[in-house]
Chain A
Amino acid sequence: MGLAYLTFIPFIGAAFTTVSTRLGRYSSAWVAVITAAASLSLLLPLAHDVMAGQTIIQHASQWVPSLGLNIAFRLDGLSLLFTLMILLIGLVVIIYARYYLSPRDSMGRFYAYLLLFMGSMLGIVLSENIIQLLIFWELTSLSSFLLISYWQQREEASRGARMALTITGGGGLAMLGGFLLLGKIAGSYELSSILESGDMIRQHALYPYMLILILLGVFTKSAQFPFHFWLPNAMAAPTPVSSYLHSATMVKAGIFLLARFFPALSGTPEWTWIVTLTGLITFLTGAYIALFKHDMKALLAYSTISHLGLIVMLFGIGTPLAVVAAVFHIMNHAIFKASLFMLAGIVDHETGTRDMRQLRGLRKYMPYTALLTMIAAASMAGIPFLNGFLSKEMFFAETVEHGNSMALPWLLPLIVTAGGIFAAAYSIRIAHNVFFNGKAEDLPKIPHEPSRGMQIPVEILVGLCLLTGIFPAQIAGPMLSVAVTSTLQTTAPDYQLAIWHGVNPALIMSMVAVAGGILVYRSREALFTLQSRFDGMFEAKRIYNGAIRRLFNWSSSITMNVDNLSQKRMLWLLFVASIVMGASGFIVHDAPLAGARTMLPVDPMSAMVAFIMIAAAISTVVMHQQRFTALVLVSAVGLGVALTFIKFSAPDLALTQLSVEFITVVLLLLALFFLPQRTPDESDRLRQGRDIVIALLAGSGVAALSYAVLTREYSTIGDYFISNSVSGGGGANVVNVLLVDFRGFDTMGEITVLALAGIGIYAMLDKLKLLSPQQDEDGRPWNPDTHPVVMATFSRLLLPLALMVSIFILLRGHNLPGGGFIAGLVTSVALIVQYLANGVEWTRTKLPANTHPLIGSGLLIAASTGVASWYFSYPFLTSTFHHFHIPLLGDLELASAMAFDLGVYLVVVGTSLLILINLGLIHQVSYQPRITKKNLASPTTDSDTTPSRSAALKKVLPWKR
């Protein structure tokens, strides 16, 4: 279980960081440090076994066993390497960010996002199940989105975040398809069996499709050409994020997958060509563009792209030695690039700019930072005695080797050396341009050395660069060997980690690259002028933006073609379409309309109720222009529906229908107050005629359909529930048992939605001011008596009775008609009537005004009855029941579902009160001067007219500030 805990600790830590900010500004940094350290401490005992060559696989729990999905974790050499990188660089970044963020930035939010990312990234590298891996994969895209847009007020931050999410999210979608195919081919989603069935996978007919889908995910995430452009735009993130996510870890997730699936997918011509070429193009373009970027972070971003391309290319070449070089370069790049980003952050932090046209001569002000930058940049350039040199030389050697197998053996080494020249040139630029190159002047701030807190993290990383560069076999050797072994899934090839291999092609290429780099850098001014002619011509970002814009235009033009914002037209189309489809079914297939069932006899009572319903419905339509009358008439229809439910033995439905009916009447009356009392004529005669015909056809169609269904014999799923209700749910009322037990999870979702809707309505009404009419429809002034005594008195009498009824309905709901939903509605009607008859002010003094806690506690009760069943190791929301004997009351049966029903009750009461009362209050301080018919009930935004509104609201809504 250790690995599961290790992965989930950062998620828990993320929750704590936000809370901890209450204890002081820096406490969240401490929480983050402790979280990372806790994960690390869980890793170390396991790391020992892995270094000894073991693969640890832990099955944490079942997930969807019927689909072969289990939650399982895997730790082998490769994942150990990544886990260490994530946690150690994470730790260093956490410390660095503590000093980097300015007092205006919310630290809690930053660390919460960062830990969220850390957990997701750990999930990727530690997952044994590939679907589980994909979920963590998507989580890294999401947390990266949050981190890039951390400075929300900046336009480029939100744009960069959206772009990154679109590209990586789209890639994730493709990868899901690839994983599903892979699971189908391999017959399992577990990595262990996928890695073993490499031959079968490569020979499968679906292999090319699966490969392309997975590679799409890999290339988008690891910023490979042509999806590379999101990475430079992600540089809008705070620098610690760029250092952690966008150089060391997240962009390596794609590369991690290449390594992970290497034994299963590599070795085919498709793999070699696609992966090698993509890597090569990315390596070259990245290196080339990087030189011309004047922003330090943009330069580093393109150089990251270039180095990622280098690693991808090595995996494409695919020889065991190339894999050694790739894995080694993953480590080395993470270390020197993370430190370079931090150094760029220091320069930005202390000078106020990252523009290399402005920055120069900083050596005088920050000599130590200059030294650190020179070492890290030298490592990036591939200078001996630094870690970057070692893996880059391995890379050169591999390209020579691979080139030998091609028609033109000198071509690949030549191209790669050209890339190396640019890499050396931009590395020199970042050190020389910023710290030498003349005198520093015109900087936004006077530069000085940063605080120690920002230097120490960089020192650690730069120290690692040096140590690995000088003692490679001692420092990186053991880790590299187990990582390579688990990547290849066989024994690692013979290789030697040493600085001096003798004079060989790779060394010559290294020398040429560095020398060429110096030359290119010296002639940079001419190159910049040349390049500026092509500025913006081949920008992938522009193509992306154009594509996105076209997509939006296209979708909105489709929408506008269907929906021209005329509701009449939409309804017309909808009804005609359904009539045509329904009728065509009747015409094409000849089945008799009526089935074999005999009709029940018609009794005069039912006939009359039916007649009243029909007549009331028709007259509602006829009189719909007089809105209040239509409301009264439609109430009669509702009553008829309730009676029909009763007649056909559905008392629960009838009770629900009745309660909803009255709540709706109150709701409509509240809304109607602000609306014109009469609907104006909206259609001419001809259209009315057309609409009547369509309406009649559609209505008769539905009637014919229900006739056809109801006259046929059919079996329902109801029988199952009826026979299992008492034995399975401990209640005789099937409807209620269904709601709180068999389908308890649905109900849980529904009350959550209800609560959300209530809160949403509350938020929307919060600042809404509406003018209210000063007289009624016929021009009579309102009755000055706001709360007539008779009404107030009788309503107060009603309250205890109504509450008793609702409790009665709540308690017996499990066995007889009733339940939490109906009881909740009855209670809220009983309370609403107090507001109605006695006024808000009076009622507020007697009742707690704030219904939010009611809603919250309802949800909590419902959820905790669900969670409680976990404690007894049953699935969520399993209910239990027991018979108790209580003196005086006799035998009682109590089901845990009743507690759940109580939750439903509370949510319903809270939400309906919240909505209705706030709707009633939106006109609280109305516009006093004379109102003419013309501007009746028109909403206003003029704040001058309602100066006392907030004061008045404070009086009646004490929670409102």
Chain B
Amino acid sequence: MIATAIHIAFVLVSAALALNFWRLLKGPSSPDRILALDTLYINTIALLVLFGIHIGSALYFEAALLIALMGFVGTVAMCKYLLRGDIIE
């Protein structure tokens, strides 16, 4: 049962990733791209957690955790850049 669910989830998350990536390429404006990248991070987290459940290992959890943590910082930095130009002031 869970195996089927995971497979369906894989397909859906993959589709989300592909669409995020499309937005990342297309833009058209910089905020669009930052948003697309941030969503790409979030879907990657989902992907990693799914992968961990799939092979029954907790080893990938930290990577997901780090993406969650660092992705936020990356997004903040990029947004600050658009707003103020200088990110550390």
Given contacts A670-B87, A670-B88, A782-B83, contact A801 B69 (CB under 8 A): yes
**A277 on interface, CB distance cutoff 8 Å:** no
> Are the C-beta atoms of A669 and B81 separated by less than 8 Å?
yes
A37 CA to B69 CA, complexed, in Å: 63
Residue from A629, A643, A817, A921 in contact with B27 in the complex, judged by beta carbons closer than 8 Å:
A629
Given contacts A612-B17, A662-B74, A829-B70, contact A651 B62 (CB under 8 A): yes
Q: What are the residues of chain B within 8 A of A776 when measuring CB–CB?
A: 82, 85
B34-49 interface (Cβ within 8 A of A) = 34, 37, 40-41, 44, 47-48
> Are the C-beta atoms of B63 and A658 separated by less than 8 Å?
yes
Determine how close the nearest CB of chain A comes to the CB of B78; give it in whole angstroms: 7
Other than A639-B67, A661-B74, give 11 A-B pairs with Cβ distance below 8 A. A615-B21, A615-B25, A639-B44, A642-B67, A651-B62, A670-B88, A673-B85, A791-B79, A826-B66, A836-B87, A837-B80
> Are the C-beta atoms of B10 and A669 separated by less than 8 Å?
no
In the complex, identify which listed stretch (A131-139, A193-201, A528-536, A630-638) lies at the interface while the others stay far away. Answer: A630-638
Q: Looking across the interface, which residue of chain B has its beta carbon closest to that of A651? A: B59
Given contacts A633-B24, A666-B77, contact A783 B83 (CB under 8 A): yes
> Are the C-beta atoms of A655 and B63 separated by less than 8 Å?
yes
Residue from B24, B66, B83, B84 in contact with A655 in the complex, judged by beta carbons closer than 8 Å:
B66
Interface set of B (CB-CB < 8 Å, partner A): 10, 14, 17-18, 21, 24-25, 27, 30, 33-34, 37, 40-41, 44, 47-48, 51, 59-60, 62-63, 65-67, 69-74, 76-89
**A50 on interface, CB distance cutoff 8 Å:** no
> Are the C-beta atoms of B62 and A818 separated by less than 8 Å?
yes
**A483 on interface, CB distance cutoff 8 Å:** no
Given contacts A669-B87, A921-B88, contact A832 B73 (CB under 8 A): yes
Interface size on A, residues (CB 8 A): 65
Determine how close the nearest CB of chain B comes to the CB of A627; give it in whole angstroms: 11
> Are the C-beta atoms of B14 and A604 separated by less than 8 Å?
yes
> Are the C-beta atoms of A917 and B88 separated by less than 8 Å?
yes
Q: What are the residues of chain B within 8 A of A924 when measuring CB–CB?
A: 89
> Are the C-beta atoms of A636 and B37 separated by less than 8 Å?
yes
**A19 on interface, CB distance cutoff 8 Å:** no
A833 CA to B70 CA, complexed, in Å: 10
Residue from B18, B44, B67, B86 in contact with A923 in the complex, judged by beta carbons closer than 8 Å:
B86
Q: Can you give 5 contacting A-B residue pairs, CB < 8 Å?
A: A605-B10, A646-B60, A651-B60, A654-B63, A817-B59
Q: Secondary structure of the A side of the interface?
A: helix
Q: What are the residues of chain A within 8 A of B84 when measuring CB–CB?
A: 782-783, 786
Q: Looking across the interface, which residue of chain A has its beta carbon closest to that of B71? A: A662
Q: What are the residues of chain A within 8 A of B87 when measuring CB–CB?
A: 666, 669-670, 673, 836, 920
**A739 on interface, CB distance cutoff 8 Å:** no
> Are the C-beta atoms of A639 and B41 separated by less than 8 Å?
yes
> Are the C-beta atoms of A635 and B37 separated by less than 8 Å?
yes
**A371 on interface, CB distance cutoff 8 Å:** no
Residue from A662, A672, A836, A917 in contact with B70 in the complex, judged by beta carbons closer than 8 Å:
A662
Residue from A636, A805, A837, A840 in contact with B21 in the complex, judged by beta carbons closer than 8 Å:
A636
Q: What are the residues of chain A within 8 A of B69 when measuring CB–CB?
A: 798, 801-802, 805, 826, 829-830
> Are the C-beta atoms of B62 and A655 separated by less than 8 Å?
yes
A798 CA to B75 CA, complexed, in Å: 14
> Are the C-beta atoms of B14 and A836 separated by less than 8 Å?
no
Determine how close the nearest CB of chain B comes to the CB of A389; give it in whole angstroms: 78
Q: What are the residues of chain A within 8 A of B62 when measuring CB–CB?
A: 651, 655, 809, 817-818
> Are the C-beta atoms of B76 and A795 separated by less than 8 Å?
yes
A802 CA to B69 CA, complexed, in Å: 7
**A616 on interface, CB distance cutoff 8 Å:** yes
